[in-house]
Amino acid sequence: MCSVVNRLKPVMAYKLCYQSTGYLRKLPVHIKHIVPGLCTRKQPLESVIIRSYCSRMNLGKGIVFRQLFESVSSTYTYLLADKASREAVLIDPVLETVDRDVKLIEELGFNLKVAVNTHCHADHITGTGLLKTRLVGLKSAISKHSGANADILLSEGDKIRFGKYHLLVRETPGHTDGCVTLVTGDHSMAFTGDALLIRGCGRTDFQQGCSRRLYESVHQKIFTLPPECLIFPAHDYKGQTASTVAEEKRFNPRLTKSVEEFVEIMANLNLPKPAQIDIAVPANLVCGVHEV
């Protein structure tokens, strides 16, 4: 394989080799070096990487996956569905984009079983409450440690099932007490909420924020996943769409530091308070509507 790869243009070679092997480390050294941030004239490499990952990820075997974006709060909502049974789950829906999400779910013919919040968000109102009024049988879910109401209160090790697939709950507190990371059964994707962002992490200066706890959560519950596991966060403020465990372990400017340095960094972020915090938190404690 690699003798063929060596004769191809680097990006094509990367794509071919990755799709065939599934492992970046098996690529020739010169191709590994072109991966971070490199663009071809026609196509950003990032899009090549995402497509390559998606084609390898068990999508072929039957999972439908969509990453959706809400631009005011820079929130990602994720839709996962079992192609065969049409059962689906939605992660971190936003109130303002409920119409978009319902339309997509209906167009694709899915039966949305669970709408799950990775935590009680402070920057936007969740769409779970409104979704429940629009989609019959839908259940809301959030961590039992969040203090919020929902149909399903999640704990470490719980499985959120959709058809023959599931998401596994890993508790990752620190940004808030009730933060969870949701991991696909094959460990190919992790939805990290605000615990781990791409080259960043959730702030720890309000709700039940605790830097030491967050550091421990990320190192014990996320960095222990396979290196090629894709990271999908709840937010990105720079247009980044996905990362991997290996990348974050190597390049995350906060979480590659010692715990003491991390605590110091987090104490000095000096971020402004989220604009919607005073309405978002009370609303999210009741699943986004005042009558669930």
Ligand X SMILES: N[C@@H](CCC(=O)N[C@@H](CSS)C(=O)NCC(=O)O)C(=O)O
Binding region for ligand X (CB under 6 A): 73, 122-123, 194, 200, 202-203, 235, 269, 271, 274-276
Question: What minimum distance in Å lies between the beta carbon of 166 and ligand X?
Answer: 27
Query: Which residue type is seen at 292?
Result: V
- Cα–Cα distance measured from residue 107 to residue 4, given in angstroms and rounded to the nearest whole number: 42
Question: What minimum distance in Å lies between the beta carbon of 53 and ligand X?
Answer: 25
Report the Cα 37 to chain-centroid distance in Å. Answer: 20
Region at 232 (left for phi over 0; alpha for psi -120 to 50; beta for the rest)? beta
Q: Collapse the DSSP code of 20 into the 3-class scheme (helix H, G, I; strand E, B; otherwise coil) and give the result.
A: helix
Cα distances (Å, whole numbers) of residue 69 to 98, 100, 101, 123? 12, 10, 10, 14
Would you list the DSSP string of 75-133? Answer: EEEEEEEETTT-EEEEES-BGGGHHHHHHHHHHTT-EEEEEE-SS--SSS-BSHHHHHH
- The smaller minimum CB distance to ligand X, of residues 124 and 166, is found at 124
Question: What minimum distance in Å lies between the beta carbon of 130 and ligand X?
Answer: 20
Please state, as a whole number, how many other Cβ atoms lie within 10 Å of the Cβ of residue 213.
Answer: 17
- The smaller minimum CB distance to ligand X, of residues 122 and 231, is found at 122
Query: Which residue type is seen at 45?
Result: L
- Contacts of residue 55, Cβ cutoff 8 Å, sequence gap at least 6: 19
- The smaller minimum CB distance to ligand X, of residues 73 and 140, is found at 73
- The smaller minimum CB distance to ligand X, of residues 155 and 240, is found at 240
Question: What minimum distance in Å lies between the beta carbon of 64 and ligand X?
Answer: 27
Residue carrying the six token digits 């009730």: 178
- Contacts of residue 262, Cβ cutoff 8 Å, sequence gap at least 6: 211, 215, 254, 255
Kind and range of the H or E element at 27? none
- The smaller minimum CB distance to ligand X, of residues 226 and 282, is found at 282
- The smaller minimum CB distance to ligand X, of residues 22 and 274, is found at 274
Question: What minimum distance in Å lies between the beta carbon of 213 and ligand X?
Answer: 14
- The smaller minimum CB distance to ligand X, of residues 57 and 94, is found at 94
Question: What minimum distance in Å lies between the beta carbon of 91 and ligand X?
Answer: 15
Question: What minimum distance in Å lies between the beta carbon of 253 and ligand X?
Answer: 10
Question: What minimum distance in Å lies between the beta carbon of 165 and ligand X?
Answer: 28
- The smaller minimum CB distance to ligand X, of residues 1 and 275, is found at 275
For the record, the structure tokens of 116 come out as 């799950």
